[in-house]
Each structure stands twice: as C-alpha cells, then as structure tokens.
Amino acid sequence: MLDLREEKRTRRKVWMSVLVAILAAVGIGLVVGQAYLASQWESEPPPTRDLRNVDGEIGEGCKLFAESAVTPEVEVLARPELGAMVRGTIANGTELDVVSVRRDYVEVRREGEVVWLERRNVRQECP
C-alpha cells in the first residue's frame, strides 16, 4: 500500500514540475514578446513625404489673388481633392493669405478658417 501512495506522489510531483516548467516558459515568452513589441514602438516611423510647399513656383514676397477666368467668384473647397465640398466663394481679385501649397491646390486662411482653392484659380504678382 505504501508503494502505491509513493508512486502517486511521485507522479503528482513530476506532473507539477512539468506544469511549472510550461508556465515558466509561457511567462518568459510573454516577457520577451512584450519587450520586442515595446522596442518596435520606440523606433522612429519611416519618413513621410511632406506635401506642403512642394511647388516652388510661388516666389518669396509675391502676392496671390483669387482669379477665375470663367466666373466672377472662385469656389472655396473644404479639402484639396476633386469633388470636395464647396464651402463658399471668394470674389475675383481678393488677396489671399496663403498657408501652404499642395500640388494643384492652395491652402488659404479666410475669416478665421483654413480653406482650399484650386491652383488654376490663383494669380501671382511678384515685385
């Protein structure tokens, strides 16, 4: 009878040791995984191309004016993209407070808000 009890205890100890070893391995894996993920976030993201002021055609000290060859007013857009919502209009000849230039669009400040005009509707006057 003692041999059976001793055998059960030995089996229990072995299984407990195996379970503890598995749990330790999982714990170490989690710690290493967390350290790896943390190191990934600390690295710098890849550089992105800044589209502000891409076009160098607008000279220093030049003034920009709204001007449409077709209508007496220029449409003001919410975003610099085709099909963007029209937020209003600016009369031809109005001087623009330019924030930035993005390809075919000019970002301007108007009455406290930032809006966009198509580049073809902007006239430049340089001294």
Res. 3 pLDDT band, cuts 50 70 90 = confident
* pLDDT tens-digit series, residues 33-82: 887 777 665 555 555 444 444 455 666 677 889 998 899 999 999 999 88
5-30 pLDDT per residue, tens: 888 889 999 999 999 999 999 999 99
- Domain tally for the chain? 2
Contact between 93 and 66 under an 8 Å Cβ cutoff? The reply is yes
107 and 68 in a common domain: yes
Q: Give residue 20's domain range.
A: 1-45
pTM of the complete model? 0.53
Q: How distant, in Å, are the alpha carbons of 9, 16, 65 from that of 2? A: 11, 21, 102
Q: Which CATH number covers residue 110?
A: 2.30.30.40
Please name the amino acid found at residue 72: P
